[in-house]
Amino acid sequence: MADADGALSHDSHASAPMTCDIVLAGVGGQGVLSVSAVIASAALAHGLQVKQSEVHGMAQRGGAVSANLRLSDRAIASELVPRGCASLLLAMEPLESLRYFPFLSPTGTVVAATTPVENIPDYPPLESVLDAIRTAPHAVLVDATRLAREAGSMRAVNMVMVGAASNLLPLGADALEHEITRRFERKGAAIVEQNLRAFRAGRTAGRP
């Protein structure tokens, strides 16, 4: 903030810990771990410390999957995000976001894709799920499926969600775009462009 105390607040900012705790949620097979890996790699390249925790094994395709990602400018103790500490709850599926609300800080934001994965018999009506998400103090709903299609590939849904989350990360868009380019490079320039378009569309849609 540029005000009269600019220099002072800059000093205190330098000594206060910068941490960004993220809980990621989705359904097995959606690519929760890929999204986590993109953000983690970009943060590492940006000079931040990272702890990235995943669940394997019985988290087979079709089951609830979550991951924890902690970024900080200093040593990170716990592998797990404590309750009430996540500044970002990033959900690839709307219903899955609701399981982790207690982990979200009251000042944090839930960013959720709106397309449901209805592979259980008692999936609630979608509108009631979206309304429930909107009860969070800060909620961003993203039609990631449509944005990915518009970007040229349904497979780019994950990068739409990285884009939607990017506004809330302690990283510049350039750091994330660099990582996306690096990851998709071997698949050719067209795939890189699709994913960058998806990222940018998500970034625009996710602006709070």
Partner 1 sequence: MSQHVLRGDEAVALGALDAGVTAAYAYPGTPSTGIVEALQARHAANGSAPGFWTANEKTAYEAALGVSFVGRRALVVMKHVGLNVAADPFMNSALVAPHGGLVLVVADDPGMHSSQNEQDSRVLADFARIVCLEPASQQEAYEMTREAFDVSERFRIPVMVRLVTRLAHTRSLVTTAPPRAANAIRKPDDTMGWTLLPANARRQWRALLERQPDLRAWAEASPWNHVDDGAPGATLAVVTTGIARNYFLENVGDLARRPLHLHIGAYPAPAELIAGIRSRVSRVLVLEDGYPFLERQLRGLGLRDHSVCGRETGDLPPDGELTPDLVRHALGLPVRPGVPTPDLHVPSRPPQLCGGCPHADSFQALRLALGEHADAVIASDIGCYSLAALPPYSAVDSCVCMGASIGMAKGAADAGHRPAVAIIGDSTFLHSGMTPLLDAAAANTSMTVVILDNQAVAMTGGQSTLVPSSRLEQIVLGLGVQPERLHVLDTHPTKHAANAAVLRDAIASDGLSVVIMVRECVETARRHLQERRHLPLVSEDVDG
Which residues are at the interface with partner 1 (CB under 8 A)? Answer: 26-34, 37, 40-41, 44, 49-65, 76-80, 82-85, 95-96, 98-99, 101-106, 108, 110, 119-120, 122-124, 128-129, 132-133, 135-137, 155, 183, 186-187
The DSSP letter of residue 182 is H
CB of 47 to partner 1, least distance (A): 11
Strand, helix or coil for residue 108: strand
Q: What is the dihedral of CA 181, 162, 33, 176, to 10 degrees?
A: 40
Return the number of the residue (132 or 173) whose C-beta is nearest partner 1.
Answer: 132
Nearer to partner 1, 27 or 205 (CB): 27
Task: Tell me how far, at minimum, the Cβ of 5 lies from partner 1, in Å.
Answer: 26
**Shortest gap between Cβ of 149 and partner 1 (angstroms)?**
16
Quote the strand ranges of the chain, DSSP E. 19-27, 49-53, 64-72, 86-91, 104-113, 139-142
Instruction: Kindly give the interhelix angle for 173-184 and 157-166, rounded to the nearest 10 degrees.
Output: 160
Contact 116, 94 (CB under 8 A): yes
- Whose Cβ is closer to partner 1: residue 91's or residue 204's? 91
Q: To the nearest whole angstrom, how small is the minimum distance from the Cβ of residue 194 to partner 1?
A: 13
